[in-house]
Amino acid sequence: METALLILAIALCTVTGYILGSLNFAVLVAKSQGFDILKEGSGNPGATNVKRVVGKRAGNLVFALDVMKGAVGTFLPFFVFWGISSNWGEVSKIPFDLNSAATLYQLIAGFTGTILGHCFSIFLNFKGGKGVASTIGGLLVILPLPILIGALIWVILFFTTRYVSVASIGLSTSLPLTCIILHLIASSPSDPIKIVFALIITLFNLWTHRSNLSRLRQGTELRFGEGKKKYHS
């Protein structure tokens, strides 16, 4: 793939992903139930806060929609760019190959734009959620096996600690480690890209959870199920 075309594809995937990512389902779902999620509970426009404030069904809906947004924001810009560039004449021949560096760069660009849009939404004055659900959706496209292993770790940590933040941090931390293990088992030329990408995700996730880490150190972080009672007492 020519360098100029790759740069254009990366730029367009990033911008398109950002616009899609900026659509905040937590705000929309909560508003449909008469809540301003930005002013309720923790004020975070994410699935966990919606579940605490609005209810379990609404929170699960937001989580599912955010996962879908992460996946769509990752792969849709890639397919749209290639569809337009080929006049939709050979869509079946779109070069979707996770072992191709060019494909990975474009998917990562769409993913990055989506997560940045979710965390710094253009529609919410550049505020947003922590991006965990959208990250899961995007990684189901780019790193399917590592994220499935990470999801298992999330479930184990959540049900043993009842801290959503601990489970989310555990999930992200497992990603680069899993990528390294998979590389040692069966290496691929694109593995270094995947490992660096996973490490960046871990660092970004730790940054977005910095307030949770502070509360965990202070012993003030809420376990799941405590929030609604404390927020509305």
Give pLDDT tens digits for 137-168: 999 999 999 999 999 999 999 999 999 899 99
Average pLDDT over every residue of 99-114: 92
Nearest to 115, CA basis, from 56, 177, 211, 202: 202
Average pLDDT over every residue of 78-94: 65
Give pLDDT tens digits for 222-232: 887 775 545 44
Confirm whether pTM is higher than 0.85.
Answer: no
Say yes or no to pLDDT of 91 above 80. no
Predicted local confidence at residue 79, as pLDDT: 81
Average pLDDT over every residue of 180-190: 91
The mean-pLDDT minimum among 6-15, 66-75, 201-210, 217-226 falls in 217-226
45 or 96: which carries more pLDDT confidence?
45
Average pLDDT over every residue of 36-42: 92
Say yes or no to pLDDT of 132 above 90. no
